[in-house]
Structure 1
């Protein structure tokens, strides 16, 4: 339901294209300005002037071989996962916003993750992924 309700909020031009309904409601609004996090799966929006809005990149994307996999940590690793998540929370916003110098902060971040046991978590996740791929391929 990316654009609202078909025939109420938008109309479908064909399988891959949508546009505004013919007459906008009194309390007019626009979906063009909304963030569309799944735009690759969405139909292309066509404005009244015929211009297309939205994802226009390749449609022959390759699906990840891990698509559908969900990691569930073993019970004994859950405290380790939680410790690693706390470290990520500690650094995430400050690194992404530029508050911390990556040259200084990233080595500390990685060091704290390794000390908290991230390598065990990665190994467990990789093991589960390999088993999942063997079962689902």
Structure 2
């Protein structure tokens, strides 16, 4: 797969999947991830397969509305690897235990994606967001 095709593949993820309706996300994930893809969210929260990866994204939309994820840099391609920097913004919907922020609180934080490509699809995913910043904005640090 050439570099331009890999950049196009990434854009099916962001903004593609992230700009779609939550109910469309599993089908889109099937198109862009290998059947045995792994999403490495850390803390033993690996997600196996496109539908599980899509479910992690869908979970975001149960906590936030007015979501936008903006590509800030990239995608940068090197061999079988794709990297990009993004910024998440949304409005907290409320109702999550341990979060002190009021419903309607707006949040914004940066992050990065790292993907390994196999064939013509994404095979492994390591998302890295500024979790501390998000938790501070949501008054979730105790």
TM-score interval, smaller chain: under 0.3
Between Structure 1 and Structure 2, which shows a larger proportion of strand residues?
A: 2
Query: Bigger relative contact order, structure 1 or 2, given CA contacts below 8 A and separation 6+?
Result: 2
- TM-score norm. by structure 2 comes to 0.18
Q: Between Structure 1 and Structure 2, whose CA radius of gyration is higher?
A: 1
Between Structure 1 and Structure 2, which shows a larger proportion of helix residues?
A: 1
